[in-house]
Amino acid sequence: MNRPLKVAAASGIVALCIYLIIAPIVVLGIENSPIRWIISFLGIILGGTFSILFLNGFLVLGNKFKSTLLSVMSWIGIGLLILYLAFGTVMTFSLFIKNASAIEAANIPFVDIDNLDYLFGEAVRAFVIFTIIVYVVSMAVIGTYSILFGVGLLILKRKVKYAPAAGILNIVAGATYIIMIGFVVAIAARIVELVMLFKASEKFE
C-alpha cells in the first residue's frame, strides 16, 4: 500500500458503518431466518477484514514512532480479529446448516411433570451464571486491551495530532465496558481515531 494510513482511515469508516448497520439487523432480525445468517456472515467477513486494515494504520504509526506498546497491541488486535473471522465464520455456517436442515422427529423421554419446573429452573440458573461469567471475562479482556491500546496512543501525543484524545477515550472505554458505557465511548474513540489517521496521512504520507 502506498498510503497505508489513508487506507486504514477509509477502512475504519467502512468497518464502523458495517457494524452500526448490520448489528441491529442481526440482533433484532427474525429468529432462525436464513437472511439473518447471511447478513451476519457478511458482517463478520467484511467488518473483520476492514477492521484489520484499520488496525494496520496504528501498526504503521507504532513502527514509525518507535511505540512498542502500540505496535504490540495492534498485532494482538489483528490476531484477535483473525480468530474472530475464523470462529465467526464457522459458527455462522454451523447455525445456518443446522436451521436449514430438516428437523427429524425425535423420541423425547418421559419427564415427570412434578420435576419439570425444577429442571427448567436449574437450566435457567445455570445459563444465567454461565452468561454472567462469559460477559465479565470478555469485558475484562476487551477492557484491558482497550486501556493498553489507549496508553500506546498517548505515547504519540507530541507526534500525531489527536492521539492524546483517542488514547484517553480508549482508556475510558476500557474502564467502563463492564457497565456498558464503554461501548458508547468506544464509538467516539473510533471517530477520533479516524480523524487522527486522516491527519497523519496528510502529514506523513
Query: pLDDT by residue (tens digit) across 7-19?
Result: 999 999 999 999 8
Residue 97 has pLDDT above 90, yes or no: no
Q: What is the pTM assigned to this prediction?
A: 0.80
CA distance 46 to 50: 6
Task: Please name the residues in contact with 144: beta carbons below 8 A apart, sequence gap of 6 or more.
Answer: 174
**Residue 125's pLDDT is what?**
79
47-66 pLDDT, tens digit per residue, is 999 999 999 999 999 999 98
Compute the average pLDDT of residues 171-181.
94
Provide the residue type at 167 as one letter. G
| Helix pair 34-64, 113-154: axis angle to 10 deg | 30
